[in-house]
Structure 1
């Protein structure tokens, strides 16, 4: 079954469950890491704590954005509310970037003014728990992204993926601190801060692409053309325009049809083209314009399928 073939009800349920799971995990991690950092005074653990605080805030924003994005189109928003997801992702990237800047300043200060760490088995235990919860959440988020194509869940998943690496780094720092390698903790804080900033840039780039209606990738556009090619009597195709908004794909195109084709037949062919596109994207908004081949300045015949 195609990954796009998912009912609106199923998509909505998955998005609601994953947003609740994200908030729940973030709250648990903030509480446990706060206690562990208070005891150990570890920079890398503080880095992970800051990241989890940002996660909690971002997850709440995502939850509200998903609820709004799932609202059906209305008179004031004819194309739906899907771009709320991209706006939430962009806001999330700003929060993540600010947290990385704060962390970098804190870690650099600790490098200049090193302090003694309180090695604690409880701190390592907290980080192991954090690692387990984060991996479980990311696996669930990846499943939801594959099924729903949600931008905001994809951004959240990317952020939590960076958390996995950060949690591993914190565990290493705490263990090495127990063996007398004090400087590793602060330097790992710097590395984590840089990685978090990079993650923020990736999230922002994807959100901006969606807000600016970037075209779908070449492979997806080719799949659309293949479906158009499969409809008899279609001579060519031009001005194919595509975009994604909150999991809803918008497709516009001009069909090149024979001059003498009756309007009723042209209409039926356009309906067939729309049905073929909907076989790829059941929730897509498809707009097909029919052009007589003689009025097309430069016809764009569809290439014959490979034999």
Structure 2
């Protein structure tokens, strides 16, 4: 996952949002299929290469690919659930399935990193020779080529859909390219220079990188589950769009959050208190349309405030959920 939720940039497209959403959903599904297929292929070839070489750093990439496959399978199911439309029991949709899958990814990756640290420590104490380095190098080159193709496709999908799950997958597959490159260096140092310490040393470095990746995914998933606000620049853009309307006096109380591919935006619009209700409603509809054009796949909820009203938003909530009207105390009790 990305360290922070990707900003939702304005989209100038005026096309059919329903058709665009369907195309984006198909892209997200294909990205999950491609990730599972690539990880499964890499598991097979790395398993063969590790059995021939005995390299610990190669074993670390094999474990990483197994975890990639598990994480990608989780993403596949999470994306399918997240794309399900809202229903009677889930009125805000199923988008939280994506960050929940991210928590599982972080657990898998963190556990594998700890296993590699233990294995690397034992290899430092009891070195094991690496054989058939040429096979290991060839496998790593093939892995890099396959992974680069997958990452390029994932980045295209993330750019179109802003999917948190696909972005997380893309992040650790990008790391895999660096990991595979480091294994090539490790094998060359062992085979050409006789530096037996290089194999466990690189495995340890890979383990530390995996821990960092797990922390990044965990932090992003928790931010989404805790309904973290949009980036400040996006929040300012929303308020700017609202205030651009000629009959909007002010906009305030903006609240934003994301749930998978769906975004939720709430704000208050202050308008002339003498406007008829139908006119205030029409203005709110116009502002809502402009915000949704700038932030696609967003559900916008607007509260209309008449000018001159001093609102108190940090009030005590009583058992019935309503703040009593102070004027009620001056009214005579009904018989």
**What's the TM-score bracket when you normalise by the shorter of the two chains?**
over 0.9
**Once the two structures are superposed, what CA deviation does each residue of 1:269-304 show, in whole Å capped at 9, x if it has no partner?**
100110011111232111000011211349xxxxxx
Contact 2:11/2:294, CA 8 A, preserved across alignment? no
Q: 2 CA distance for matches of 1:24 and 1:3?
A: 32
Contact 1:240/1:252, CA 8 A, preserved across alignment? yes
Q: Equivalent residue for 1:302?
A: none
Q: Equivalent residue for 1:164?
A: 177
Deviation at 1:216, TM superposition (A): 0.3
Q: Is 1:148 aligned with 2:154?
A: no
Q: Is 1:14 aligned with 2:24?
A: no
**Once the two structures are superposed, what CA deviation does each residue of 1:9-41 show, in whole Å capped at 9, x if it has no partner?**
111110011001000000000000011111111
Contact 1:18/1:140, CA 8 A, preserved across alignment? yes
Q: Equivalent residue for 1:255?
A: 269
Q: 2 CA distance for matches of 1:56 and 1:42?
A: 21
Count how many residue pairs are aligned between Structure 1 and Structure 2. Answer: 298
Q: Is 1:274 aligned with 2:294?
A: no
Please point out which of 70, 78, 88 is paired with 1:65.
Answer: 78
Q: Equivalent residue for 1:91?
A: 104
Q: 1 CA distance for matches of 2:11 and 2:254?
A: 23
Q: Equivalent residue for 1:126?
A: 139
Determine which structure has more spread, i.e. the larger CA radius of gyration.
2
Moved over 2 A (4+): 1-6
Q: 2 CA distance for matches of 1:282 and 1:196?
A: 34
Q: Call closer, same or farther: CA 1:81–1:291 in 2, change over 3 Å.
A: same
Contact 2:96/2:225, CA 8 A, preserved across alignment? yes
Q: Is 1:229 aligned with 2:243?
A: yes
Please point out which of 186, 203, 210 is paired with 2:217.
Answer: 203
For structure 2, list consecutive stretches of 5 or more residues without a partner in the other structure.
Answer: 1-8, 313-335
Please point out which of 282, 285, 298 is paired with 1:284.
Answer: 298
Q: Equivalent residue for 1:138?
A: 151
Across the aligned residues of Structure 1 and Structure 2, the Cα RMSD in angstroms comes to: 1.4
Q: Equivalent residue for 1:242?
A: 256
**Once the two structures are superposed, what CA deviation does each residue of 1:50-99 show, in whole Å capped at 9, x if it has no partner?**
00000011111111111111110000000000110111111111111111
- Tell me which moved more, 113-122 or 178-187: 113-122
Contact 1:215/1:241, CA 8 A, preserved across alignment? yes
Contact 1:119/1:177, CA 8 A, preserved across alignment? no
Contact 1:4/1:148, CA 8 A, preserved across alignment? no
Q: Equivalent residue for 2:52?
A: 39
TM-score, length of structure 2 as denominator length: 0.86
Contact 1:90/1:204, CA 8 A, preserved across alignment? yes
Deviation at 1:238, TM superposition (A): 1.1
Q: 2 CA distance for matches of 1:147 and 1:4?
A: 13
Q: Is 1:115 aligned with 2:96?
A: no
SS in 2 for 1:197: helix
**Once the two structures are superposed, what CA deviation does each residue of 1:232-252 show, in whole Å capped at 9, x if it has no partner?**
110111110001111111000
